[in-house]
Structures are given as C-alpha cells and as structure tokens.
Structure 1
Amino acid sequence: MKLSSSARRALHAVLISGSYAAAARHAGVSQPAIAQQIKSLEQHCGAALFERRDGYLAPTSFCEELIVLTEKIDALEEQAARLLERRHSIHTGQLRVGLGNSMPGMALIAAFQREYPQVNLSVTLSDFAHIIQGVVEGQLDIGVLPNVPPDERFVRETLIHQEVVAIAHPDDPVSRFSRLDCEQLMQVPLIFRSRGSSTQALVDTAFRKAGLKPRARLVLDTRDGVYEAVANRLGVGFMWRHGTGRTDAIHRIAVTGMGPPCPESVFRLVESQDPVIRAFFVAAKNFRRHAEVLRPR
C-alpha cells in the first residue's frame, strides 16, 4: 500500500487537531472521510495509530515513527514543487550578461541557450571597468571577465585560465616568432587599448617592469578594433589568447613578462536570488568541465 497524499493529510490533521471532527474542519473534508482514511491505514499496518486520552486522540508510538517519515515525504514533495516552479520561471525569464571578451563568454551563452532557448538574453560587450560597474550597479545580472577582483560582493565561477598574447598579421616579420619580449616589441608599431581594459593593464605592467615606455601607433576603444587594425597590418596588438572564436590567420604570440595565465570567471552579486541567474551558474560549472579545448596551449 502506498501512502497517498490524502492519507498523509488526514494523519497530520488528526495529529494536530486531536479529533476526527476538528481534523475534518482543518483539512476541509467530511468527518467520515477522515475516519475512513485513518481506519484504512490502521488495517493495512495492523496497528493502532491513535488512542483516546482524556477526550483527545493521541498518537501511538508507531504513529509517531510514521509521522517522522511522512513529514520527510512532504518536505521532498515541497522541494520538488519549488524546483518545478523555478524551472518554469527560468524558461520565461530574462538575463543581462556583460562580456569583457567575446570568448569564452559567447560559448557559454550558446550552451545556456541550448538548455533554455526561451530565456531572453541581452549581451553587452565592453571593457573591464564598465562590466564591473554594470554588475555592481545592477545594470547587468552577470559579468564574464578575466582577473575578477577579490570582492565580498561577488560570487564567481572560473571558466578557464588564459594569458595575454601579442597578435600579428601573418605577413608581419614578428609573426615567425613563437615568443617575444618587451624589448623586441619596442621595435614594431604597437596597437593599444584605452584605459579601463584589463588587457591593457597587463600590457602596461609588463613594459613598466621591463623599464620601457612604449608609444602606441593607435589606441582603440574595443578589442575588435584592435583585431581589425592588426588584420589590416597597422601593427602588433594584444588580446587574451582565447578572447575570440575567429579562426583566421592572425598569429597569437606568447610574450615574456606578461605574467602567468589568469582565471576568466563568471560573477554576480551575492544577493542575487533570481533562478535564471543561478541556472546560468550551473551552466558555467558544466562548461568548465568540458572546456579543455579552450585551455592555453
């Protein structure tokens, strides 16, 4: 015999109320219906569930053991109901994501959209400073950035580790090198990002540690602008190794002194409770498990 939800409700109602009449009023059913539920349970169990004491129905020791289990069943059913409700709200939700690099964020968004195709996603591509500001001020629900600063306001999930590299046109003489140092880079036209870029912050630090003060031929606001400038042979630029999914011939070259690979992470505010945001973090954890193809080589 399965313990139906109606039988559990009758059992709990009698336990709380102390009589069939009061239990019927509590459960919103007839008194005979309550009495029949309890009688059927007792017949199946072969044991009494209640005994009359001072005019009230008191639970037997067997009933108390059974109640412990039925309360666990009720709690699990409630959890399942909440999970189903969250799933429904995810399918009809909205999400605002800020990316510092096109990749790996776009790949993660694609994975999330395959799981939740009805979620309305808006994506902002901007520099490091603006993505941080957007999340802090609530203009963005989620950010994806390298080197997210330690901040108690943020919850984060690392996707991959990657380093900043130089990028050069295949016809540029430096493209034959697999590694360059800052002194060699001083001999070529350089393309920099504007302030607020995490890429440029690391480039500036590397040159400063080398005791060098480079002058850029071009300073551009966007990573795509830098990439296009390199593609048009205007000089050597810099980007995160896996910052784009493009597969053209632009060469990525390691740079001595640029520092070790840095974590690129998904982050949100600690107080964010939206189920869509939490679902995106689950997708990020799954993405990390299958992201070996994006790890530095």
Structure 2
Amino acid sequence: MRKSLMRMTLRQMQVFRAVCESRSYSRAAEEMALTQPAVSLQIRQLEELVGQPLFEYIGKKLYQTDAADALLRASNDIFQRLEVLDMQLSDLKGSLQGQLRLAVESSAKYITPHLFAAFQAQHPDVSLHLTVVNRAQVIKRLSDNRDDLVIMSLVPQDMALEFLPFLNNPIVAVAPPDHPLCSAAKLSLKDLEPWPLLVREPGSGTRKACEEHFQQKRAHFPHTLEFASLEGSREGVLAGLGLALLPRHAVSREIRSGLLRELPVEELPLYRSWCLVHARGKRLSPVAQAFVGFIREERALISQLAERFSPNPSPT
C-alpha cells in the first residue's frame, strides 16, 4: 500500500464525501461548518495524497473523476465499518444502538415511518436516516451500496439481490367525486381510456407496474399528463385534471374524507409486493439485521399498521 494513503484522515474523507454529495465546495463548506477555502485546502491535500485530481469543472458544473469514484467507494466502506463497530460495541453493552440507513420507493414512504416507529419501540436507541426516491434511483443506490436496506416493489431480476416480500401495495384508480365514472357500479380499464390519465415520471415503480398491466390487458391511454411525484398526481386528480392509478396507501385519507373516489375497475386493484432488499453477500450491520428480523417476524403487527391506510379500516 502507498504510504501516502496511510496519511489520509477521516476528517478529509468526511469533507470529500460532502463535496461528492453536494457537487459544490460552497455547499459542502456550509454542511461541514467550514469556510470554502478550508474545504478547498482539504481536497487539495487529499489529491496530493491520492496523486490524482478528484474533481474537475466542466462549464460551471463540478464532476468527479475516476479517482474520486474509487475513493468514494473506499470511504463509504470505511465509514460503514466504523458504524458497524459502534453498533457492535453498543451490543456488547447489551443495547442495540446506531442508525438505520433506509432508502424507499416513494409509494412506500407513507407506511415506512409507521414500520420504523414500531421497530423503534423495541429498540429505542436506534435512529433513522430515510431517503425517498423513485425506482430507478433505488436501483442506482443498490448498485452503489449507499444504504443498509431498501424498500421497493418489482425487484430487478438481473441483479444479485436478497429480498423479503412483506406487504401488498394495492394500486387503484381514483377520480374526483363529481366525475361521470363515479356513478358506475362496475368499470373496466377500457372505460377509463377516453379520459386523461395522470402518470408518474419515467423511472417510477408505480408507472412501470401500471404500464406492464396495461399491456397485459390491452388498455391504451392516448391522453396523459406527467407528474414527478405521488403528491403531484394526487393533487392533479383533486384539481379535476384527470384520473390516476395510485397506491391506495397514498390516497386513503382522501378516499375516506370523500375528496376522491376509488373507481370499481374489474382489473384493479393491481397488487405488487413491497420488499425489503439488499445486495446478496452484503454484510449487514446489527441494526439492519435487527430490522430484517423485525420485518420477518412481525407480520401480524405490519398488517395492523397497513390497516390504518385502508379506505374502510376495521374497527379496533
């Protein structure tokens, strides 16, 4: 090993990771409570130790070099090992402590806080870092080993992944209560075709699931409006812009209150399972292992939590 690499400090790597994350020296300085010259100095010293430039400007944008990509992977490994060490030391004291880094598809963000709250009730010294992204970004984060675990549906088959299905994600058709289709007792997807359909952005898991379902059922929607979030799609339906196929968990409150109506479409709900996923062979931290165990063993509790998002919850 190069002796120069042994002189790298954890502080330098923290600053480097902040620059990679923010793609900006000034934003990294703000995040680290440093001046911009101090950040520049740390990066310059790190480049001297590595022997290669780590960043380059093209136009006004900051880009990582190949050397930076390699260093980022190594630094992520180092900090993950330190987090695991911290958890293991806490475990030796008889308590589970640490942070769970969880990335979830946007359709899972409604129930995930409830899942973690139930988990934290058993392990009060565990904290959460939650990242909400679309399916394409989840897959990228899995490839980059950014998180302890992810929650997603439609787990890709061409990646070496371990996954644990744990809860259905029903996708339903919704409309504003004054829409003409709301008076129908029974509908098919074909009946929805003449109306504008609000869809998610490319890369969304909900959009991918719906497109595959439409293809199987030979349904075609020529008039679409694209929204980059579940909330945008939901508000678009509330505004009367069209119909949408959305996870029932995302619209349960609106359906209960009468602001939206779930349409009685024969080919729906479309069921996809939420899965807890990590790379095959990944060394899970004690906190991540405990969360996997919680998801595997507490199925009855998880079903009770999901019932809160039903349009017609069972009386307790």
TM over 0.5: yes
Equivalent residues, number: 216
Corresponding residue for residue 278 of structure 2: 268
Q: 1:288 aligns with which of 270, 274, 299?
A: 299
Distance in 2 (alpha carbons) for counterparts of 1:269 and 1:154:
4
Q: Secondary structure at the match of 1:273?
A: coil
Amino acid at match of 1:267: V
Report the residue type matching 2:98 in the other structure.
T
User: Relative to structure 1, is the Cα distance of residues 273 and 141 closer, same or farther in structure 2, using a 3 angstrom cutoff?
Assistant: closer
Structure 1, unpaired ranges of 5+ = 1-80
Provide the residue aligned with 2:104 in structure 1.
98
CA distance in 2, matches of 1:125, 1:176: 36
Alignment pair present for 1:201 and 2:212? no
State the secondary structure of the residue aligned to 2:195: coil
**Residue from 214, 220, 228 that aligns with 2:235:** 228
Instruction: State the one-letter code of the partner of 2:126.
Output: V
* Match in the other structure for 2:124: 117
1:83–1:123: structure 2 CA closer, same or farther, 3 Å change rule? closer
CA distance in 2, matches of 1:253, 1:272: 45
Cα pair distance change 1:256/1:140, threshold 3 Å: farther
What is the Cα-based RMSD across aligned positions, in Å?
A: 3.0
- With 199-208 and 174-183 compared, the bigger mean Cα shift is at 174-183
TM-score by structure 2 length? Answer: 0.59
Taking structure 1 as reference, are residues 232 and 286 closer, same or farther at Cα in structure 2, changes over 3 Å only? farther
CA contact (8 A) 1:99 1:105 kept: no
Aligned to 2:191: 184
Structure with higher Rg: it is 1
Where do residues 34-73 of structure 1 align in structure 2 (5 Å cutoff)?
none
The match for 1:165 is 172
Question: How far apart are the structure 2 equivalents of 1:178 and 1:108?
Answer: 35
Structure 2: distance between partners of 1:193 and 1:162: 16
CA distance in 2, matches of 1:287, 1:239: 26
Question: What is the identity percentage for the equivalent residue pairs of Structure 1 and Structure 2?
Answer: 21
Contact in 1 for aligned 2:120/2:126 (Cα 8 Å): yes
- Assess if the C-alpha contact under 8 Å between 1:161 and 1:264 holds in 2: yes
Alignment of 1:116-155 (within 5 A): 116-150=123-157, 153-155=160-162
Equivalent-residue separation in structure 2 for 1:272 and 1:177 (angstroms)? 53
Q: Distance in 2 between matches of 1:141 and 1:283?
A: 15
Question: 1:187, 1:140 → 2: CA distance?
Answer: 42
Deviation at 1:114, TM superposition (A): 2.4
Q: Which amino acid aligns with 1:161?
A: N
TM-score in terms of structure 1 length: 0.62
Deviation at 1:124, TM superposition (A): 1.7
User: Does the 8 Å contact 1:220/1:226 carry over to 2?
Assistant: yes
Question: Which residue matches 1:18?
Answer: none
Structure 2: runs of 5 or more not aligned: 1-87
Cα deviation, residue 94, structure 1 = 4.2
- The Cα offsets for residues 20-40 of structure 1, whole Å up to 9 and x where unpaired, read as xxxxxxxxxxxxxxxxxxxxx
Residues 195 and 223, structure 2, Cα contact 8 Å, conserved in 1: no
